[in-house]
Amino acid sequence: MSLTVSGAKSIAEFNPSQVIQSFQEAYEEGCITDKLRQHFCQFVPLVYGLLGEYDPNREERKAKKLLFNPIEAFLCGGPPDAVFKELKEKDHPPILCGRVFRSGEPTYSCRDCAVDPTCVLCIDCFNNGAHRKHKYRMSTSSGGGYCDCGDKEAWKTDPLCEIHRKGEEKGSNQ
């Protein structure tokens, strides 16, 4: 495979589906590394302002379009947005918030419902959940713990806030 950049490749020549197709073919032939290298050789100079004026926004947009999107689409075997969405929908159960607290972040527990005092919620789950109307207790995280929203072992009632309840309903319809 030739890696020469013959006859200035222009952005106008960039055809995403052709590029993805060529990645796929190269992968099947076992020369995907060469193919990717070739792709970068051709398009990196067009992206990173080596030809023409420097404009960071334009550069970023071009890098996404010419370099990262095709690779993402190739790795996903389809349009990345749709594939990621599909993967996300398969991610059920568990519906857990799992937000990891930074030091100093507020956490909320519920005296009525928490199984023990280590069961805590992040501010989003608390604000969108039932426990804000209960006897709650606010504290400040020393960092490292995580939100227990969605953990049915952690709460006697209302284990899910509204945000994560929606996720559960969606999942159980499948």
**Which chain residues interact with Zn ion by CB under 5 A?**
97, 99, 110, 112-113, 122, 125, 131, 134, 147, 149, 161, 164
Smallest distance from Zn ion to CB 103, Å: 17
* Cα angle 88-90-93, degrees, rounded to a multiple of 5: 100
Smallest distance from Zn ion to CB 111, Å: 8
Instruction: Count Cβ atoms within 10 A of the Cβ of residue 14 and give its class: 0-12 exposed, 13-18 middle, 19 or more buried.
Output: middle
Shorter beta-carbon distance to Zn ion: residue 19 or 125 = 125
Task: Output phi, psi for 71, to 5 deg.
Answer: -70, -40
Smallest distance from Zn ion to CB 90, Å: 20
Shorter beta-carbon distance to Zn ion: residue 67 or 151 = 151
Shorter beta-carbon distance to Zn ion: residue 26 or 121 = 121
Cβ(151)–Cβ(159) below 8 Å: yes
